[in-house]
Structure formats: C-alpha cells, structure tokens
Amino acid sequence: MVRMLVVGLALLAAGAACALGAAPAPVGAPKAPPGVAAPARPAIITEEQRRASEIAGLLGEGKVAEAQAAGEAFLKSGIKDAVALAEAQRVVAECLRKKGEWRAASAAYVRVRDRCEKNSEDYIRYDAIADILRASPNGVYSGPGSAPAGLLPTATATTATGTAAPAAPAPKTLADDDALADALARVASMRTVKIKQRVPAIKRGRTPQEALAAYAPAVNDAREMFILGPNAPADAPHEAAAAAGARLKELATPLVAQLQSKFEVYRKKFDSPWSLTNVEKADIQTISQGCKDMMEVEKSFQQSLPMVAGKQPWPDQERLAADSQERMAAYSQLSLQYVVPRYTTTIIGY
C-alpha cells in the first residue's frame, strides 16, 4: 500500500512547478490592454523603439487615424527590433478596435498575441480580446458570463400617461475601453464555472499526486480569471484550494501513521544492519525518496495559495499553508529516518 501511495510522485514533483508556477514573461513586453495594469517596459534604446513610442503617443493623444497610418507604414518598413515590432502591432490593433473594424482588429490582436510567450499574462489577455472581438460583429459583446450593469440596452419604459419614455442610450461598443474591460470581466467570470466543476475530481483523488493533478488545472483557471478580471470574486478558487488541502490531509494522516509504524519494525534491524535483505533495503530507499517527493507535492500546494487568493480576504489561507507545512515536516522527518545504515565487515584472521 505504501508503494502504491508514493509511486509516481517523482514525475509529479518534476511537473508541479510548471503546472502551478508563474508564467514566463512575454516576448517584446507589449503594452497591456485597457483596464489592466501595464507590464514594466524596457528603456528605449534603439531608433526603432523610439519611433514606436512616438506612434503610441499619437494614439494616447486620441489621434487614432494618424496613429494607425503611422503604425502600418512603420510595419511595412521591415522592423528589426522585436520590442518596436510588438509595440507597432499593438498600436495598429488598438486603432482598428477604436475605429470599429472588429474583424480586422481581432486578427490584429492575434498577431499581437503571437508576439508574446505562450500562456504569459499578455498572451492570455490578447487572446481573450481577439475572441471577444471575433464574437462581436456589431461591436457589442453578448457572449457568456455575467453582464455588467449598464453595458447592455434595457427595454423601453412607458410613462403613466401611456407615452413612451425616452429610449435608453445605445450600449457602449468595444471601441470603448470600459466596455472592453467589462467584456473581459465577463469572460473571466466563466472561469468560476470551470473551477467549481473541478472540485469533485480533487476530492476523489486516491493519492496525493492524483489530488494535486486534479487541483493544478483549477489553479491555472484561477490565474487566467484574475488576469482577465483582477477584481473577480475568488470564492471558487478558494473552494478548490480548500478541497485540495483537505484531501491531502486525509491522505497524509493514515500514510504518515503507517510509515511511522513500519519504521519501528525496521529500526530493530538497524542495530544489526547486515540482517537487512536487499528487498528491505530497496523498500527503505523507495520510501525515503517517496517522502521527499511528498515534500515537493506540499511545496507546490503552498506555492499555489497566493495564485488563488485574489483580492478579497481569505482567512483560511494561513491555515491551509500551516497544515501543509506540518505535513511537509512529517515527510521530512520520515525521509531522514528511512536511511539504510552503513556498516563494515571485519573478517577475523586477516
């Protein structure tokens, strides 16, 4: 049973950091879309970067047509600098969106996305913007997710005299930065559904590695949710983390107790280590390595907690981290105990 619980942990530990860790930085560090914090940009050090900055300045001044024309001409000039190229593509995509050319803007955002490292924050944002524009041929996003108040038109009201009240103002199109931010928040809200759907699989994990493997996609969903909607409610990610922590605790309690009991049997032989068979020595080494791998599982779980925290208060975060640290310490102690003693053999008469 012990071997069944620890087998495969080495493979899991190798991939845990990738599954739960931070994404790499985007190539070219393109500017973040409206409504989100812009990533740090490198200092302008080339003539092409200077020119790209000038074009972006035109857009910042509201000179959309002029910025688009300058950006397209700059792109045709054969830009060599990766940062300048990414910035010029971003400016053109922004201009197309602000002018209401939805299909062309969607394709332009795809090109901006492809300049970013896959699964980086910018990649996820620009991919979502491209999808939103593609799904909004009239410029008003009506896809899934919770509709923000004021974004969609309301029905025409009727006054007490029977005359029609003034029509509600037309909904904002995605050319408006606030409307785009609202659409991104709606897309983010759909991650909540996916995260909640993953909780049962986390609770069904038969081993720690199965529980963590089921939990990892929920962490990635939460990461995407907070990238697209920084103020998104974190109830679902918190639920997934609580389920993972509870399942890891349920599995660890009997496992640690069993390994401690088994160690007492081995410890009696440690006074005469030559009595250990090769099978027993191999078992001791396997358990020691398994405990080390369990420590990596707990480490990955602890590293995931800030990723699913969100902005709202989360009192359970410290408790989950402390419980995981306690399990980690127990595995560490066992890994140190399960060591085959060294011994030497003296042949009398020589």
The confidence score (pLDDT) of residue 306 equals: 94
Confidence grade of residue 143 (pLDDT, cut at 50, 70, 90):
confident
The confidence score (pLDDT) of residue 342 equals: 75
The confidence score (pLDDT) of residue 162 equals: 56
- Per-residue pLDDT tens over the stretch 14-28: 334 334 444 333 333
More confident residue, 153 or 102: 102
Confidence grade of residue 266 (pLDDT, cut at 50, 70, 90):
confident
Confidence grade of residue 313 (pLDDT, cut at 50, 70, 90):
confident
Helix 177-203 with 121-134: angle, nearest 10 deg: 110
Confidence grade of residue 2 (pLDDT, cut at 50, 70, 90):
very low
Does residue 86 contact residue 32 with C-beta atoms inside 8 Å?
no
What distance in Å separates the CA atoms of residue 258 and residue 270, rounded to the nearest whole number? 19
Low-confidence winner among 38-42, 100-104, 179-183, 336-340 (lowest mean pLDDT): 38-42
The confidence score (pLDDT) of residue 272 equals: 78
What distance in Å separates the CA atoms of residue 2 and residue 257, rounded to the nearest whole number? 11
What does pLDDT average to over the chain? 83
> Residue holding tokens 């699964």?
119
The confidence score (pLDDT) of residue 11 equals: 33
Percent of the chain with pLDDT over 70: 77
The confidence score (pLDDT) of residue 167 equals: 57
Q: Is 113 exposed, middle or buried (0-12, 13-18, 19+ CB in 10 A)?
A: buried
The 3-state DSSP class for residue 164 equals strand
Output DSSP code: residue 137.
T
Name the residue ranges covered by the structural domains of the chain: 1-24+117-141+175-350, 26-116
